[in-house]
Amino acid sequence: MNTIKAVGFSLSPLALVISAHLAHAAPSAANTETIIVTGSKIQTTIADSASTNWVITNEELTREIQGGESLKGALGKLIPSFDFGSTNARTNASQNLRGRSAQIMIDGVALNAARTISRQLDSIDPFNVARVEVLSGATSIYGAGATGGIINIITKRGKAGDAQLEVQTGVTTGFNNSEDLTKQAAVAVSGGSDTLQGRLSVAYEGKGAAYDGSGDPILPDVTQTDTQFNDSIDVMGSLDYRPDDEQHLSLTAQYYDSQQDTDYGIWYQSINNLKTTSVERRNGLELDEQPFTERLMLNVQYRHSDVLNHSLLAQTYYRKETFGYFPYPRRNIFSASEQSNDVLGAKLLLEKDINSLTMSYGADYSYEEFSAFQRVYDTTKTTQSHGLVLEEIGKIDRYPDFKTHNAGLFAQADWAVNGKLNAFAGLRYQYTQYKGSDFIGFTQQALTLVKSYPEADAIPGGTTDKDIWLANAGLKYDLTGNQQVWANFSQGFNMPDPGKFYGKGDYSGTTLKESVNVENTPLDGAKTNSFELGWRTQQQDYNAQLAAYYSLSDKTYKYKGADLELNSNKKRIYGLEGQIKYYLTDSWYSRAQGHLVQSETKNNGSWDELSIYNASPSTAMAAVGYDNFDWGTELNLQHVGDLSDEAGYKLEGYKLVGLNGYYTLPVGQINFGVQNLFDKQYQTIWSRKAQNAYSETPKDPKSVAPALFDYAGVGRTFSLSYSATF
């Protein structure tokens, strides 16, 4: 009888003990006995995989979060090849995995969509996270958007036994003034019988103002928005039903709401000359609809360990999300978008062991509906108030509405050649269809609304599709019982964002001269071939994992603000990713990790530096800590390297020092942390990328001064929290 290997909720008791022990000593991402479910859609251990895998445990994530980090910031510190994130930003647009886009999931449900809205990590409170599994590098197992790898957030579940009450509360402040305070509170109740277990939780966070290393307020983000003066609530419930040893039904429901409510806005010295205007944060903002993220997600999984001599996993899910943005100036017209996705999907996986061969195969499907509109504000009032009074006068379409169908068939094989060598191979077929609506150019719509111009011609919509075959293969060899080497090849692909790709027109007055539409521009995507060589070991005193990779794409996407170009220039990204953890004594430990990356695009036969908007800087982390299970503390250093491109744009690197720790009480635990210990003044990675994408260019009349995108990093902050389970 087969045993299902595709469910991400169960760990053996031994694995749990090992993971918990190592989490107190040092991060357990290289623990080769840790069970993972993300890489191949089958449950396995890291030691049995022919790829680079990391597992971020709840303990190490909690240490970072309760030490004052955001979820995106903590994952940047704990995943070697994931770019560092900004604590203050709502977006994770600046964070690549191995220099490319990552597919981010919650319990196997992808949060990425056809329209590339980078708020996947503004989606769950860390209180509800059990662990995070990471597969570095392109993969053909899943659909589009995983050319950099996969980050799968596994949520907490109820356990059999008496009811448990889990509570957590904390504060973070930089002691700048009374507005500089973040408050957190969360509670969960869980428990159940051997047959039925459940968990229900509510987590709240209220954030105040953010200040830089000089004690000055940080500008509000008018591009992807930030989380200053923001309240978020995450309500999550789960049920697990096991009627017998062969069946497992799990249900998860989540409602996440993150809303900004601030009286501070951007004061523009001269709205009539946005290219050179100076800006500052000022009180007096009048704005009814402020930035927000709202998400509802439902997820149902069913497994059976013996269906026609196969193990079976079936999953269906629904996701509805809406995103609100801050008003942005375009040719002196201020407007703010609201964008929505509705996603319905399903997966089916069958698995069978045939002697030394394990076969898994199945299908997945998703259907998406996207819509977006733009609120336009009264120009006179906005100008007279220097951008602080924003009164809505109407709505216009932001992008063409579109519907997306994604269907895939896949098959994977794992062959144990002998006691030391395993061979892996797989194939995926992917079909994508876009159906877009007619769309009048954004500027033409705005002129009709604001200046009563006649309605312009519409850019035609229509239907376009694309199919693609993807393959993967790998070898893993056991040098010893606790040391492996591997080599793999895998293909991934990205589809263009239809909102930025289609619906672009060149107008003469109200007459459409030419346009980019589905009739004259077929749907195309960028295919990536990825190669990897890796080594890992787990010894008594140290763990280590190291991989070299090379990935080559046949096309290049180029973003500039709200526009996208797809050209035939090849793009290559290559580098080294690794981590080592050394246990100095039973209580003292150290760890170091790094990601050395080079990103290039081919122009006229030569390889040039990729635009800093798309490229990733090299990064490194080092830490030393003490832990005796009663109390512990860790001092860490994070380093971001400089980055430049052929156009002359430069991202200046920085170094930050942090300190965190905990103390165990008779009931519960106290956590503390200091972020940016030396109050470093620096500019975030997203700040420099935003300047590259949105700011002044000589030929762009829509551009504005770079000062509008000067988003400094948060200065020194202190955090204190308490958590307990009853």
Q: Over the stretch 320-330, which tens digit does the pLDDT of each residue have?
A: 999 999 999 98
Structural contact between residues 151 and 129, judged by C-beta atoms closer than 8 angstroms: no
Separation CA 26–CA 16 (nearest Å)? 15
Q: What confidence score (pLDDT) does residue 24 get? A: 37
Look at residue 30 and tell me whether its pLDDT is greater than 80: no
3-state secondary structure of 442: helix
Structural contact between residues 204 and 186, judged by C-beta atoms closer than 8 angstroms: yes
Question: What's the mean per-residue pLDDT of the chain?
Answer: 88
Lowest mean pLDDT among 48-57, 316-325, 368-377, 680-689: 48-57
Q: What confidence score (pLDDT) does residue 564 get? A: 58
Look at residue 581 and tell me whether its pLDDT is greater than 90: yes
Residue linked to tokens 């039925």: 196
Look at residue 27 and tell me whether its pLDDT is greater than 50: no
Q: What confidence score (pLDDT) does residue 45 get? A: 60
Kindly state the average pLDDT of the residues 333-345. 95
- Highest-scoring range by mean pLDDT, 88-92, 132-136, 357-361, 616-620: 616-620
Structure tokens at 518: 């589905």
Look at residue 169 and tell me whether its pLDDT is greater than 90: yes
Look at residue 524 and tell me whether its pLDDT is greater than 70: yes
> Strands, DSSP E only, in 208-291?
230-241, 247-260, 264-268, 279-283
485-514: per-residue pLDDT in tens? 999 999 988 888 888 888 888 899 999 998
461-474: per-residue pLDDT in tens? 999 999 999 999 99
687-710: per-residue pLDDT in tens? 988 888 887 554 455 578 889 999
Separation CA 408–CA 468 (nearest Å)? 10
Cα dihedral 410, 567, 402, 506, rounded to 10, equals -170
Q: What confidence score (pLDDT) does residue 15 get? A: 32
Look at residue 2 and tell me whether its pLDDT is greater than 70: no
3-state secondary structure of 449: helix
| Region of residue 687 (phi > 0: left; psi between -120 and 50: alpha; otherwise: beta) | alpha
Parse the chain into domains and list their residue ranges.
13-725
CATH architecture of 13-725: Beta Barrel (2.40)
